[in-house]
Amino acid sequence: METFNNSKPVLVLLLLPCLLLYSLISFNSSSVEAAMHTNNWAVLVCTSRFWFNYRHMANTLSLYRTVKRLGIPDERIILMLADDMACNTRNKYPAQVFNNENHRLNLYGDNVEVDYRGYEVTVENFLRVLTGRHETAVPRSKRLLSDEGSHILLYMTGHGGDEFLKFQDSEELQSHDLADAVKQMKEKHRFKELLIMVDTCQAATLFNQLQSPGVLAIGSSMKGENSYSHHLDSDVGVSVVDRFTYYTLAFFERLNIYDNASLSSLFSSYNPSWLMSTAYYRKDLYKRNLEEVPVTNFFGSVMETIHTDAAYKALSRRNSGRFEAQMSLDSVHHAERRTLMKVNDQEETHDVNPEGNKQPLQGEEGASKCPWSTFCNKFRKGENVDSLVNYGLVTMIPLLVIPTWLVR
């Protein structure tokens, strides 16, 4: 008896950490599975300065323009430019940046918002942006405020080499630094999926050390290869764009916001002979099939639209997993869903049909035919609150008039 009494607190003490561990595990796993893709972010980094690195600036600005065109707003783009080419004293076309010698597109329009400029683009600031560990005075526009439902596009361009990327001609970002930052992001649930696109020499080595799940990475060249610029603009005087980015842009210029080209079509569009290097992508950490992922998941901001008649209420994270599962079930059954196609085959675009007037949680439809339970359901969902209150107010009037008339 005594030993049992003595061992009881010991048992309790042993039980507590087990419970804690179990709850942590279940919470972690449940929270990871329950996250729904809610927003897209883009972090676009140009790491080199000086006039002869004009093309890196043009790369980043072209991708900035593409990403904005396909729907990501400025609040969710962090643009880091290490030098100012548009207002550089050597720029013959002041306030204009071109990525093609035909000068058709001016990339530096009115609505370019540069978040980190000039000497603020350092490895330290870049890692702070990724991990979210800022000083308290850093404004919100300079923070990556992503959450567990975010898809992040990370595009880096500049000069690089074997397992490093050169920042500002004076410091380096190494591949294990990047991998560590991504691991921290994953721990803190700062992204759901991450696409890293690197356009430097020996780019693919930069993501050698990555281990976090949900990360997809593509680099413009493999180890031992150089990435080349596309062409020289004799008017501006320097090369204006790199090959990898040029062909990426060629792919995207054919798209608009409603297209559903898949990532695999993007990745297979890179021709090694045109690039003069091998664009290598790493998909072992990325669980989804690249054929099913539309490019707008990273490069644009197109969401599923669900039509509801009542006021919109943001779904809580807990319910979203169940929601997503049922959405995909519905999507398989109904023929009106958008179908994914490769851009190379057909240029047709399907209209994005909303899900019609169907209520989101259709699984309960068949169960409750009785009007009272449908009423209770709707009441619980909180869709008809306003109309209920209005009915209540309207019934107040006869409830007032009739007894008054009876009493008088």
Partner 1 sequence: MEKLKKKIRSFSFWNWVIASIIFRLILIYFPNNLNLSSRPEVSTPLTSFRRLSEGYWLKQLSMSPYAGSMYHGSPLLLSLLGPLTVKRIEGQPNHLLYSLVSVIADVVSAMLIRATGQNLQVAYFGTLKSFDLVKQIEGSEVHSPGDVAALIYLCNPFTIVACMGLSTSPIENMAVILCLYGACSRLIPLAAFGWVIATHMSLYPAILIIPVIFLLGRGPDAPPRKLFLQMHQEKGVLNQSKLPPCFSWGPIIHFAFWALLWSVYVLVLCGISLKQFGGLWEMFKSTYGFILTVEDLSPNIGVLWYFFAEVFEFFWNFFLIVFHANILFMILPLAIRLHHRPCYLAYVAVCSMLKSYPSVGDSALYSGLLGWFVNELSDMQFSLFLFCGYVGVSPLSPVMHNLWIWRGTGNANFYFATTMVYACLQIVLVVEGVSAMLNHDRKLRSLITGKPRDAKS
By annotation, the residues acting in catalysis are 159, 201
Q: Which is nearer to partner 1, 288 or 313 (CB)?
A: 313
Query: 329 or 385, CB closer to partner 1?
Result: 385
Phi, psi of 144 (to 5 degrees): -90, 100
> What is the nearest approach in angstroms of partner 1 to the Cβ of residue 357?
20
DSSP class of residue 143 equals S
Q: Smaller CB distance to partner 1: residue 31 or 377?
A: 377
Q: In angstroms, give the least distance from the CB of 363 to partner 1.
A: 23
Residue 383: both structure tokens together: 């869709």
Contact footprint for partner 1 (CB under 8 A)? 311-313, 382, 385-386, 388-390, 392-393, 396, 399-400, 403-404, 407-408
Nearest approach, Cβ of residue 309 and partner 1 (Å): 13
Residue closer to partner 1 by CB (options 140, 408) is 408
HEC-encoded secondary structure of 199-243: ECCCHHHHHCCCCCCCEEEEECCCCCCCCCEEEECCCCCCEEEEH
Specify the residue, 332 or 393, whose C-beta has the smaller distance to partner 1.
393
User: Using an 8 Å Cβ cutoff, are 181 and 144 in contact?
Assistant: no
Residue reference for tokens 């649930």? 189
Closer Cβ to partner 1, 73 or 382, answer by number: 382
Rounded to whole angstroms, the Cα distance separating 184 from 192 reads: 13
> Whose Cβ is closer to partner 1: residue 273's or residue 316's?
316
Instruction: Tell me the closest approach of the beta carbon of residue 36 to partner 1, in angstroms.
Output: 19
Residue 308 Cβ vs partner 1, minimum distance, rounded to whole Å:
11
C-alpha span between 210 and 215 (Å, rounded)? 8
* Beta-strand pair 164-167/159-161: antiparallel
How wide is the angle at C-alpha 225 spanned by C-alphas 219 and 226, nearest 5°?
80
CB of 377 to partner 1, least distance (A): 15
**Is the separation of the CB atoms in 136 and 33 below 8 Å?**
no
Q: Please, what sign has the CA dihedral across residues 297, 109, 62, 77?
A: negative
Pairing, β 164-167 against β 171-174: antiparallel
Handedness of CA 195, 204, 65, 128 (dihedral sign): positive
DSSP 322-369: HHHHHHHHHHHH-TTS-----TTT----------TT--S-GGGTTT--
Judged by CB, which is closer to partner 1: 11, or 389? 389
3-state secondary structure of 172: strand
Please tell me the distance from the alpha carbon of residue 177 to that of residue 164, in angstroms, as a whole number.
Answer: 9
Q: How many CB atoms lie within 10 A of CB 199?
A: 29
Q: How far is the CB of 372 from partner 1 (least distance, A)?
A: 17
- DSSP H or E segment with residue 282: strand 280-282
Give the residue among 68, 54, 49, 67 at the shortest CA–CA distance from 96: 54
Q: Is 285 helix (H, G, I), strand (E, B) or coil?
A: coil
Q: Taking the complex as a whole, how short is the minimal distance between the CB of residue 359 and partner 1, in angstroms? A: 17
